[in-house]
Structure 1
Amino acid sequence: MTTSTNRAQKGRARYTASRQAGRAPLEFYPTPPEATRALLSVESFDGPIWEPACGDGAIATELTKAGYQVTSTDLVDRGYGEGGYDFLKSEKPLAKHIITNPPYGTHGLGDAFVRRALIHARQTGGNVAMLLNLRSLANPDRHKKFIKTPPAAIYFLDELTCWPEGKPTSKSARIARQQYYWAVWKPGHTGAPQCWWLSTRDFR
C-alpha cells in the first residue's frame, strides 16, 4: 500500500461525521466557474497557486485559463491533480498562494483548512483565498479567530449554488442552498477588511 493511499485512508475518517449528517460524501461540492471568475475580477496573484481541495478541477481550471501556474491536490482522486494528498497533514507549501473551496464538515474542517493555509502563507508571503459560508462570519466560535487574523478583503457573492457531487438531484442537495463569500488573507494585514459585493451573474 502506497504512502499516499495511507494518508487518504486516514484523512477520510475526518469526513465520516459529515456524511452521517447528510452532507455530500467526502465533502465534494464543486465550485461553479463564475465564483472563481468573480474573485479574479478583483484580486490578482503574483506567483503560482496551490489548490489543495481541487476535486474535479473546477477552481484550478479557471485559474489556469487566467494564466496562473496551479498545483492541484486533493484527499480523493477524482481524475484531476494529485489524489491521496492530505492538506491538513502537509508540512511544506507547494506554491506561494492558496485558493480553494475548503470542505466545511461538521467538526471544523473549514477552520482547519484556513488555519493550515495561513501557516503556509506565513512561510511564502503569499495570499490565501477561501470560499466560505456566509454564516461563518457571525459565529461566536470564530470571533476571536477573525479578530486575531482578519482577512484583508471580503467579497460577498449574491448568488451561488455548490451542488453536492455536482448533482442538483442529490439527496443532500438542500444543503447546497447557502450564501457564500470569498475571504482573502494577505501578509502583514491588520485591522478591518475591505468589503465589497460581487454578482456572479456577471461571470457566467
Structure 2
Amino acid sequence: MLSAAGHQVVITARYAYGFGESGVNCLAQQTPRAPYRRQPALWARACRRLTLKALALTRQTGGKTALLLNLASLCHPSRTAFWQRNRPARIYAIDAVVCWPEHRYGQAPDVFTRHRYCWVVWSPDHHGAPSFGWLSAGDFRSG
C-alpha cells in the first residue's frame, strides 16, 4: 500500500518468507535504507533490540517504522517501561495471521495458529497515546 502510494519502503527479513528482501540482519545495519521500514513478525527475545535498531535507523530519515508483533508483546510486565518510553503512533490488531514459513517447515503447529498479531507503527512526529484499529487478514489475501 505504501509503495503503491509512491513511498519508498524497505521490507526485510532474516529468512526467506516469500516477500521483501531476505538475508538481512537488521541489527547489522548502520545506515537507513528508506524512510519507511517494515519488519515481519519478530521473535520475542530479539524484539526489543530489533525494534530499537529500526527506530534509530528511521529516526535518521524522519520516516516511520512498522513492525508485525505478537499481540502479547504489548501486555507483558517486563515490556511496560519500553512501551511507555517508545510510544507508537498506531496499533492495528489483525484477526487471523499465522506467522510460520510453511514452505520451509510444513504445516504450522497448533500453538502458532492461536497466536494473534498486530502492526505497530511509530512516527517521529507523534506524541501522546496511540490510535488503535482492527484489520481483517482476509481483506488482504489474494486468490
Contact 1:164–1:173 (8 Å) recurs in 2 = no
Structure 2: runs of 5+ lacking an equivalent: none
Structure 1: runs of 5+ lacking an equivalent: 1-39, 61-71, 75-84
1:202 matched to 2:111? The reply is no
Give the TM-score taking structure 1 as reference length: 0.60
Instruction: Give the % identical residues.
Output: 32
Aligned residues: 140
Larger Rg, first or second structure (1 or 2): 1
User: How many angstroms does 1:154 deviate by?
Assistant: 0.4
Please name the residue that 1:56 is paired with: 16
- Cα distance, 1:88–1:120 mapped onto 2, change above 3 Å: same
Give the aligned residue type for 2:16.
D
Large movers: runs of 4+ above 6 Å: none
1:173 matched to 2:116? The reply is no
Say which SS state the counterpart of residue 117 (structure 1) adopts.
helix
Please name the residue that 2:31 is paired with: 92
Higher strand share: 2
User: How many angstroms does 1:93 deviate by?
Assistant: 1.0
Give the aligned residue type for 2:28.
K
Partner Cα separation in structure 1 for residue 123 and residue 5 of structure 2: 11
Give the TM-score taking structure 2 as reference length: 0.83
User: How many angstroms does 1:167 deviate by?
Assistant: 5.6
Say which SS state the counterpart of residue 110 (structure 1) adopts.
helix
Higher helix share: 1
1:111 matched to 2:71? The reply is no
1:22-61 paired onto structure 2 within 5 Å: 40=1, 47-53=7-13, 55-56=15-16, 58-60=18-20
